[in-house]
Every structure is written in C-alpha cells, then in structure tokens.
Amino acid sequence: MWGYGSVGDLAEDLFPSHTPTLPYAHTKNVHTSIRPHLQTTKTAMPVLRWIGLPLVFAAVLLAAGCDDTGFDPFQESDFNYSIAGFLDGGLDTQFVRVTPVRDSIALAPGALDATVTLEHLASGQKTIWKDSVFSFQAAGEPTPNIAHNFWSDEPLEPLATYRMAVTRSDGAMSWATVTLPDTFPDPIIEGSIIKMRGIERLADVVLTYRIQELIGGKIVTKTTSYLPSVFPMGDQWWVRIDIGADQNEVSLRFFGAPTQILSLKVTVAAAGPDWPDLVAIDDQTLALPNVVSNVEEGIGFLGGIISKTFFWPGFGGDMGR
C-alpha cells in the first residue's frame, strides 16, 4: 500500500511526497446539494481532490488572513499547534502535518519542540510518532518552506477511536479525537460503473491516470474526483466513469495530439462518523478559524478514513510511486 496518510493543489505544497486528498463526504442521511462550484447531486458534502490536504484545512489556514473575521493570527491565544491530516486504516503508514501556532509565517529549520502521540482510547495503548522534515520551494519564493510530517507504521483498527496529542516541552498541548469507519468490501467494476457497498459515509472516489502523449512522449498524471457524480442505488453507492472524456481532457493539453493511458488507479475512501458536514455551513462562517476544526487548544482537522486502492481492469502497471 502507498505510504501516505493525509487526504486542492495545496497538498503538494503541504505534503510534497506523502499526500492523498479527500472531499467532503456523501452520507446516506443527508439530502442536499453541494456547493455551487460543483455539479448538483444528492447527498453530498463538498469535495476535495486526493492529492493534498482537504479544503477544510485550507479554510482553517486561510482564516488567518481574513480581516473581517476578527481573528488575528499574531495575537496571543490558546492555540498551540495546528494538526492536519488523516488517520487512514487502509494504509500501512500514516503521515500528519504538525505546525506550531507562532508569530511568524516562516518556520525555522531544525527540530520541532513537539512530542506527538496517538492513543487507542479503548485499550489505552500509546504510540510515539516520528518526525520527518520536508523542505519545498514554490515558484517565485526566495527561500524554501519547512514542514514537519510526523509518521507511524503502527496498524490502525477499524471503528476504533484515537486521540492524537501534540505536547510542547513546557507542557502546552493540542489534541484531536477521531473515530475510524468500518472496513468495507472491495468495490466492484461492471462496465463503466464502480459499485461500492458497506459504506455509510463516502469520503471520495478518485481516479489517477498516468497518460503519455504519443508524439513527444511526455507523461502526465491526472487526478480526478468523481464524488460529485456518485449516486445511491439501494444499499450501495454507484458512479459511472467516463475514461474517454478524462483522456480527451489530457489530449487537449497537447493540442489534440494522440495519447495513451499507461495506468489507471482507483481509490475509494470511507469517512468516519465525525466527518464534517460542510454543506450546512455558509462561506462566511466557514472562514472562521475553528468552525471545521476538531483540534482542542489548536487549529486544523484530523479525519478518520479507510481507503482501498486498485487498478482499473486492463490499465494496471507501475504508477511511478
């Protein structure tokens, strides 16, 4: 399985190598439409792509720059750390971004004054996570950015509740509690339809294409969330995949040049019971710093998911992981 555990294009900056992305979830007991920038569909919460942090993180981070919210990011507060990521019971390695709430945008290199632990609340078992430092530089930026992604390869248990705590050397803490969903049967592909069952809340259905332009030989990766197209069918979720349309979209980048699909990978993710219902929140409220946060004494969001990834029949192969 792939070694990443946190589910926008914001993701590649925040998690340069370890990053899935997730949307808002479909849930069987919500009947509304998702936000205007997505097509209207039954039972949806807003969607993110699989390659990065969800928009809930973006909302939390961008809130610091909203003058009309009354929130000053450089003012003294009870916020100690930002915790951003996912606990994914479908992966063998988890990564969660931890950042101190500080009076400067730049994060100094070196060790972070933080001890990260994950506690299985039913058993009391605690695991200490390891720090990994990433340096990445966006185009036009004079200096690289530093990010701390804490990780663990301790197995996670479906339906279990966990508490992640980040503790500073002086005892100050931020923490988040999250429950994972149950595991679910492998999705079935029939024709152009993916059929999913045993999922109460659907976090995302993401297709990752590796496509080659045949004239110049350039290879591109295209990631598409099909969550807005998912619909309920009895006790299942169904979604129709238009591989031809996705491939043609890439061909347009090459001015209509012929392309071939080298591989196609599908990721289906179920969300835990505490997944936020962002549809019910208006945009102004969403901009406030802790509206979608489940972090105590801090900001950010820690989600619980279980994902399954498989190749589309006939399009297997090395995704260049």
What CATH number did the domain enclosing 157 receive? 2.60.40.380
φ, ψ (nearest 5 deg) of residue 248: -65, -35
pTM for this predicted structure: 0.73
Considering the domain architecture, whether residues 128 and 242 belong to the same structural domain is answered as no
| 67: pLDDT strictly greater than 50 | no
- Out of 48-52, 221-225, 296-300, 313-317, pick the least confident: 48-52
Same domain, 174 and 197: no
Average pLDDT of the residues in 77-99: 92
- Is the residue at 316 inside a domain? no
Q: In the chain, at which residue ranges do the beta strands (DSSP E only) sit? A: 26-27, 81-88, 94-100, 115-120, 126-128, 130-136, 145-152, 161-167, 173-179, 188-190, 193-197, 201-213, 219-225, 231-233, 236-240, 259-271, 295-296, 298-311
The token pair at 206 is 């993401």
Question: What pLDDT shows up at residue 256?
Answer: 87
**Residues 215 and 246 grouped into a single domain:** yes
Angle at 170 between CA 178 and CA 151, to 5 degrees: 40
Q: What is the pLDDT of residue 141?
A: 76
pLDDT tens by residue, 107-155: 666 778 999 999 999 999 999 999 998 887 777 777 777 889 999 999 9
Per-residue pLDDT tens over the stretch 263-318: 999 999 999 998 876 555 666 665 565 567 899 999 999 999 999 999 999 998 65
Range of the domain at 222: 188-268
pLDDT greater at residue 290 or residue 29: 290
In a domain, 44, yes or no: yes
Q: Is residue 51 located within the same domain as residue 162?
A: yes
The CB density around residue 122, as the number of other CB atoms within 10 Å, is 11
For the ranges 48-52, 68-72, 246-250, the one whose mean pLDDT is highest: 246-250
Q: Are residues 225 and 109 in the same domain?
A: no
Which are the contacts of 142, defined by CB distance < 8 A and separation ≥ 6? none
Per-residue pLDDT at 144: 78
Q: Do 139 and 49 have their domain in common?
A: yes
Dihedral sign for Cα atoms in the order 25, 26, 28, 31: positive
The answer, yes or no, to whether residue 8 has pLDDT greater than 50, is no
Mean pLDDT of 238-260: 93
Find tokens 């998912």 and name the residue.
230
- Asked whether residue 33 carries a pLDDT value surpassing 50, the answer given is no
Say how many domains are in the chain: 2
User: Is 100 a domain residue?
Assistant: yes
